[in-house]
């Protein structure tokens, strides 16, 4: 089974990486707590956005494909339940 491509999300992931590095710099520089917390919230929101896009693609591609294969749909449902429980 082939997997969907998520390469279009790499720029967003790189931006998140930059945000996290910026937060580390803020901490090292002793910036105000609320400023750090605001940046943490922004990074968390950006991660949630990327996560939602990957989940949507998984449902639209992987789960849809599994519906055509009798034994695979139960596996995909179990995967979704497991990942949702981690949230």
**Whole-angstrom Cα distance, residue 37 to residue 23?**
9
pLDDT in tens, 24-57: 999 999 999 999 999 999 999 999 999 999 999 9
Q: Token pair of 54, please?
A: 């990957």
Question: Considering all CA atoms of the chain, what is the largest pairwise distance in Å, rounded to the nearest integer?
Answer: 57
- Please tell me the predicted confidence (pLDDT) of residue 7: 97
pLDDT in tens, 61-81: 999 888 888 788 899 999 999
- Please tell me the predicted confidence (pLDDT) of residue 82: 95
pLDDT in tens, 7-20: 999 999 999 999 99
- Please tell me the predicted confidence (pLDDT) of residue 1: 62
- Please tell me the predicted confidence (pLDDT) of residue 29: 98
DSSP one-letter code for 8: G
Of 17, 1, 18, 10, which Cα lies nearest the Cα of 53? 10
- Please tell me the predicted confidence (pLDDT) of residue 81: 94
């Amino acid at each position: 089974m082939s997997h969907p491509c998520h390469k279009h999300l790499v720029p967003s992931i790189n931006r998140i990486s930059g945000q996290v590095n910026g937060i580390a710099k803020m901490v090292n520089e002793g910036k105000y707590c609320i400023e750090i917390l605001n940046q943490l919230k922004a990074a968390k929101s950006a991660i949630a956005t990327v996560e939602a896009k990957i989940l949507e693609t998984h449902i639209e591609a992987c789960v849809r494909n599994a519906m055509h294969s009798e034994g695979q749909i139960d596996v995909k449902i179990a995967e979704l339940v497991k990942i949702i429980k981690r949230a």
